[in-house]
């Protein structure tokens, strides 16, 4: 992977500074290309063809097509053969050069031929056109700013912020999304005016015109009852893993002990003669789930070269650096073990494979079961179901919904909201997946904040997609997956100069999974049914039959040791009033009533703390640091 940046004018100092701030994404070299009307920057993480021939920005023989590229094109050898047959000559063994000559031959439609994860920008000198593209699922990031004449792009927002004319203002509607769901869906970011390139889109800037084009989407469901589904899923995943082992540097696998990462380890072990390097993270004080022990069993089964790390560092020491790498806050504390895991892996590999995407393909999340089980309640009047749910003991609700007992009183509030809104599917799904209830929204957010937000129109909850499960999977694939799951994966790996690859998100496998009948994904209480069957001859039965559980996080321990005191320090009445987002009494209520709903209040507090620290680092500061050595005390 690499870091890319650029803009549509010539400025030597700015492009050098933007490129430099992305050094962690590519420590193996950096270069820029400048000409009238264009500046391109690149930081290189050498993975394929480690020679100087792979240096970027890269051009064609005439110097009329220039590219800066982040990612991997796994079918580049086949495309290269096709291009050579058409007379194109190559000077390197890189996939980058295939983009250059492919654009010469096929123009903007080249993106439809790529199998891989990518974000790139092409400067077409002859047509004075800048062409950008982002891969189908959003594995690699790409951000841009456009004011009608000035256009900038980069792999990370911090590079864009180096442009002096770009004002640092909070996007209030995006902030509302983040504070409810811990991420921002769609093209908006928390920075006013800065947008994400959406997955599966291209963008063209020519003169004062900007055009966006969607070149791929998850196909409409076919509810296919394929008798060969088990073998087909196994074959597709096997091929994807083999492709993603391609590298001229050491490759490893992140191993959690669940079926997703275990499947990758098992298939990778079949594809190489050397022991697979595996990496796991955990907590030595974990009593609920021993993540390291489960991963260790898989590692022993496949005789991998296994390495572990325990998170025992104070989170206040890590948060500033993590936030710097994220650019925007994230409300899931999993960012902490992910950061440490990459810190471990970077000592031995430059590429890691991981299991992201399997839950969205094969229905692995608990909310899918909850939503499907609740459908028969839609025939009852809303006021009856709402009042009945309030009176039902929490243990009984938990037996039915697999949800609220661990969430305390807030869990029951969420279920009440959910059942009340069942006739409005999208709203009901948001009730399940947000960290705030209807009551929270009224009490937490100030009136001025609520009246200032203008959320974008919902475009991803597509009622025409049938059946219901496929509707939910599509929604998460378009929102949660790129902006939550893959975002964390990219930023925490690249923070330590590691390339992350995700075999489950080969677009051929994604398209096939989308075609399958829901019963092949979820059967009774068994999630990922077809994946479990596909792996039964490869993985130990303890893995294929194990119930999915969330990665254990010692949030309660962190709350008692650090988070509460940190929250009390930064959320003073004066500070909360100055920001204008929240009502102080509710913020204080979070730590005062924490014990009644530890999981939800803990998530809310972690989300709010990161939001405040992010503002102090990126919004309040006149300049962002050129490195990630930010101490918490400097933000307080």
Strand order in the sheet with 194-196: 30-35, 38-44, 2-7, 151-154, 143-146, 194-196
Q: Is 2 known to be catalytic?
A: yes
Residue in the structure block whose two tokens are 């869906």: 185
How far is the C-alpha of 467 from the C-alpha of 375, rounded, in Å? 12
Q: What is the 3-state secondary structure (H, E, C) of 461-489?
A: CCCCCCCHHHHHHHHHHHCHHHHHHHHHH
Question: How buried is 581 (Cβ within 10 angstroms: 0-12 exposed, 13-18 middle, 19+ buried)?
Answer: buried
For residue 57, cis peptide bond before it (omega within 30 degrees of 0): yes
Question: How buried is 495 (Cβ within 10 angstroms: 0-12 exposed, 13-18 middle, 19+ buried)?
Answer: buried
CA angle 106, 109, 111 (to 5 degrees): 110
DSSP class of residue 1?
A: -
Total count of residues recorded for the chain: 636
How far is the C-alpha of 122 from the C-alpha of 65, rounded, in Å? 7
Within 13 A of 252's CA, how many CA atoms are on the CB side? 23
CA angle 335, 341, 344 (to 5 degrees): 145
How far is the C-alpha of 263 from the C-alpha of 268, rounded, in Å? 8
Q: Which two tokens stand for residue 228?
A: 């060969």
What is the number of other CB atoms lying within 10 angstroms of the CB of residue 173?
Answer: 18
Question: How buried is 448 (Cβ within 10 angstroms: 0-12 exposed, 13-18 middle, 19+ buried)?
Answer: exposed
How far is the C-alpha of 88 from the C-alpha of 101, rounded, in Å? 7
Longest dimension (CA), the chain: 75
Residue in the structure block whose two tokens are 């092409």: 122
Which position among 2, 142, 530, 539 bears the catalytic label?
2
Run of H or E including 439: helix 438-444
* Residues labelled as active-site residues: 2
């Amino acid at each position: 992977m690499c870091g890319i940046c650029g803009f549509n004018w010539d400025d030597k100092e700015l492009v050098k500074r933007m490129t430099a701030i992305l050094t962690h994404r590519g420590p193996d070299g950096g270069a820029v290309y400048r000409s009238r009307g264009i500046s391109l920057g690149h930081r290189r993480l050498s993975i394929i063809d480690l020679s100087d021939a792979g240096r970027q920005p890269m051009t064609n023989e005439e110097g009329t097509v220039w590219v800066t590229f982040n990612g991997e094109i796994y079918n580049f050898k086949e495309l290269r053969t096709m291009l050579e047959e058409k007379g194109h000559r190559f000077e390197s063994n890189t996939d980058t050069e295939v983009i250059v000559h492919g654009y010469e031959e096929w123009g903007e439609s080249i993106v439809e031929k790529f199998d891989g994860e990518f974000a790139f920008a092409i400067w077409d000198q002859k047509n004075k056109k800048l062409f950008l593209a982002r891969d189908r699922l959003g594995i690699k990031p790409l951000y841009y700013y456009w004011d009608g004449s000035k256009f900038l792009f980069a792999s990370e927002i911090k590079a864009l912020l180096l442009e002096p004319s770009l004002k640092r203002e909070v996007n209030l509607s995006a902030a509302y999304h983040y504070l409810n769901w811990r991420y921002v869906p769609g093209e908006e970011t928390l920075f006013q005016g800065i947008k994400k390139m959406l997955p599966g889109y291209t963008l063209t800037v020519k003169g004062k015109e900007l055009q966006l084009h969607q070149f791929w989407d998850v196909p409409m469901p076919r509810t296919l009852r394929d008798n060969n589904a088990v073998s087909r899923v196994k074959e597709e995943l096997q091929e994807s893993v083999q492709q993603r082992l391609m590298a001229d540097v050491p490759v490893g696998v992140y191993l959690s002990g669940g079926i997703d990462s275990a499947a990758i380890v098992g298939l990778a072990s079949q594809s190489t003669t050397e022991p697979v390097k595996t990496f796991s993270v955990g907590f030595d004080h974990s009593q609920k789930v021993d993540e390291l022990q489960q991963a260790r069993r898989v590692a022993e089964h496949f005789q991998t070269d296994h390495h572990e790390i325990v998170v025992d560092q104070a989170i206040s020491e890590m948060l500033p650096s993590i936030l710097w790498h994220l650019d925007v806050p994230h409300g899931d504390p999993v960012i902490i073990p992910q950061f440490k895991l990459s810190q471990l892996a970077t000592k031995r590999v430059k590429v890691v494979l991981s299991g992201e995407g399997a839950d969205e393909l094969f229905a692995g999340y608990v909310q899918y079961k909850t939503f499907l089980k609740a459908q028969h309640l839609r025939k009852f009047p809303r006021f009856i179901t709402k009042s009945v749910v309030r009176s039902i003991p929490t243990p009984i609700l938990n037996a039915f919904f697999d949800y609220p007992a661990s969430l305390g009183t807030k869990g029951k509030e969420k279920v009440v909201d959910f059942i009340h809104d069942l006739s409005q599917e999208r709203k009901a799904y948001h009730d399940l997946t947000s960290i705030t209830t209807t009551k929270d929204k009224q009490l937490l957010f100030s009136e001025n904040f609520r009246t200032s937000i203008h959320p974008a129109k919902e475009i991803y909850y597509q009622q025409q997609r049938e059946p219901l499960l496929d509707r939910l999977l599509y929604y998460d694939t378009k929102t949660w997956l790129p902006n939550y799951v893959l975002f964390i994966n990219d930023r925490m790996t690249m923070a330590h100069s590691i390339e992350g690859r995700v075999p489950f998100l080969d677009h051929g496998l994604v398209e096939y999974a989308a075609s399958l009948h829901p019963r092949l994904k979820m059967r009774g209480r068994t999630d990922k049914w077809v994946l479990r069957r596909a792996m039964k001859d490869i993985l130990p039965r303890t893995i294929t039959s194990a119930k999915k559980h969330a990665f254990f996080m010692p949030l309660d321990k962190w709350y008692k040791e650090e988070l509460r005191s940190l929250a009390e320090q930064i959320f003073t009445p004066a500070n909360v009033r100055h920001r204008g987002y929240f009502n102080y009494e509710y913020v204080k209520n979070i730590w005062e009533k924490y014990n009644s709903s530890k999981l939800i209040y803990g998530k809310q507090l972690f989300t709010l703390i990161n939001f405040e620290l992010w503002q102090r680092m990126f919004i309040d500061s006149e300049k962002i640091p050129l490195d990630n050595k930010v101490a918490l005390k400097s933000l307080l």
